[in-house]
Amino acid sequence: MNPRLKYGKLDWQLIGIYIILVLIGWISVFASVYDEENAGIFNLSQRYGMQFIWIVTSLVLAYFILFVIDPKSYHVIAWILYTGALLMLFIVIFLGVEVNGSKSWFMIGPFRLQPAEFSKITTALALAALMSKHNFKLGTLMSYLKVGALLLAPMLLIVLEKETGSALVYLAFLFVLYREGMSGTVLALGLMAILLFVLTLRFNPFVSIIVLVFIMSVIETINSKRVFTNILFTAIFIPALAYSPRLAELPFLSGFENLPKETWLFVMIIPLIIYQVYRAVKRRLAYLWYLLICFAGSVALIYSVEFIFDTILQPHQKVRIENLLGIQKDLQGWGYNVHQSKIAIGSGGFSGKGFLQGTQTKFDFVPEQSTDFIFCTIGEEWGFLGSVFVVSLFVYLIIRIISLAEKQRDSFARIYGYSVAALIFMHFFINIGMTIGITPVIGIPLPFISYGGSSLWSFTILLFIFIRLELERWN
């Protein structure tokens, strides 16, 4: 312990929220697997007993991080830890035990350890180390290649472990890059790709293309000087597109009735494209070129959705997405989890059924109810009030981390802080989102709350390294 440090300046708000969330988690695990015959909350044969052990050990870890480890060493050991984690991720593919179809767990005696949980920390540290180097500037091709390699390596290994869900979490680092100056276009394109993908799956390419043309028109309008003309043109052109298949009813076009209806869209869009290409060439409008390339890419995406969906995605992933989009309703099979989860949360009503009074989250009606679906117990027993309270805690935690990160003079601490906020945000959004049916079911835990040692340890380490780094500010 360094006596010269002002430990009074520790951010007690973050520590306080951490403790509240961990306690809520413990109580919820207790409630979700509560068994009258093994009622003691410290009973080690039950998950709530084990969770107590994880909490105690997490506090020990937190103590070490706050008072023992020198925060300056993170710059140095970041790469060693990162490489070590990659090695573990690689080895687990061969030596790991299979749990729910994925090989991502080490079995050490009676305990299970998931390297993917810890590699989030090491990746965050390595990213901070890389980007805080004084000669590093995000924007060059080289810089993107380095960052890309750093992020993709663990993601790839985790996909090979068949833990696609955990790999998706790494997309959180895109937010960090965005904060550090990456163009927002990447995020915007990503969002648009998701939107077009969902629209095409839920409806058809016809609808997607009309939406795409609409988005393009809006961007064109923002960039162009002829605002009024553009708005007027869009207002006429979009409905015209929607009705374009009726062109086939024209007498002189009889014989073309059997063409796919998107054909008529293209009949109308292609002259417009030719005109825009002409404009781009003549007036050297760079943004117009980007728009046109973007349009072409989007059309390609729309027509490969079926291929991606049928060939690349695993059957269980397909079903989860179809269930989310309401394309198919299978309440006995894959839709079961979400259906049960929504009943549990929905039946909580405004103020909930009360502690241990949840009927839905007892036994095994909600699967994984102490790990990935722990939010069901909160929703059922504490109702809308309790749920909103937990959501608020998370939002406050994330915002607090971001605002503290912004205050850092050391860019290592700032980048690391953003990574922590982004990772917690991704878990928070996807996990709670899946229990209430707004994101697909991806098996990742709710930070600090879900049952499990790997998860609790890794989030504790993740958060407390930041709290300790933050303290350096007062030095």
Residues forming the site for another protein (CB under 8 A): 175, 178-181, 184, 331, 339-340, 342-343, 345-350, 353, 356-360, 362-365, 379, 383-384, 387-388, 391-392, 394-395, 398-399, 402, 406, 425, 429, 432-433, 436-438
The nearer residue to another protein, 5 or 436, going by C-beta atoms, is 436
What is the C-alpha separation between 258 and 429, in angstroms, rounded? 45
Closest distance of CB 91 from another protein, Å: 34
Entry field: residues in the chain = 475
CB of 32 to another protein, least distance (A): 12
**Exposure b/e, 399-435, CB count within 10 A at least 16 = b:** eebbebbeebebbbbbbbbbbbbbbbbbbbebbbbbb
Specify the residue, 112 or 342, whose C-beta has the smaller distance to another protein.
342
Of the pair 62, 338, the CB lying nearest another protein is at 338
Q: Which of 295, 293, 289, 321 is nearest to 308 (CA)?
A: 321
Q: How far is the CB of 437 from another protein (least distance, A)?
A: 7
Residues 24 and 378 sit within 8 Å (Cβ to Cβ): yes
Nearer to another protein, 175 or 451 (CB): 175
Q: Which segments of 1-110 does DSSP mark as H helices, in order? A: 12-32, 47-67, 73-95
Residues 314/327, Cβ–Cβ less than 8 Å: no
Nearest distance in Å: CB 419, another protein: 13
Which residues, in sequence order, are CB contacts of 89 under 8 Å at separation 6+? 115, 116, 119, 154, 157, 158, 161
Nearer to another protein (CB atom), residue 154 or residue 358: 358
- Residue pair 161/117 in contact (Cβ under 8 Å)? The answer is no
- Pull the structure tokens for residue 138: 């995000």
Rounded to the nearest whole angstrom, what is the least distance from the CB of residue 179 to another protein in the complex?
5
Instruction: Return the number of the residue (210 or 398) whose C-beta is nearest another protein.
Output: 398
Determine the straight-line distance between the first and last CA of the chain, rounded to whole angstroms: 14
Minimum CB distance to another protein smaller for 320 or for 353: 353
Show the 3-state SS of 189-242.
HHHHHHHHHHHHHHCCHHHHHHHHHHHHHHHHHHHCCCHHHHHHHHHHHHHHHH
Minimum separation from the CB atom of position 166 to another protein (A): 20
What is the nearest approach in angstroms of another protein to the Cβ of residue 119?
A: 23
Question: Toward another protein, which CB reaches closer, 309 or 429?
Answer: 429
Residue 323 beta carbon to another protein: minimum distance, rounded to whole angstroms: 16
In the bound state with another protein, the residue whose beta carbon lies nearer, of 109 and 184, is 184
Tokens of 45: 């044969």
Look up residue 77 and give its two tokens.
Answer: 């050991």
Count Cα atoms within 13 angstroms, Cβ side, for 119. Answer: 28
Burial 317-327 (b: 16+ CB within 10 A, else e): bbbbbbbbeee
- CB of residue 264 to another protein, shortest distance in Å: 36
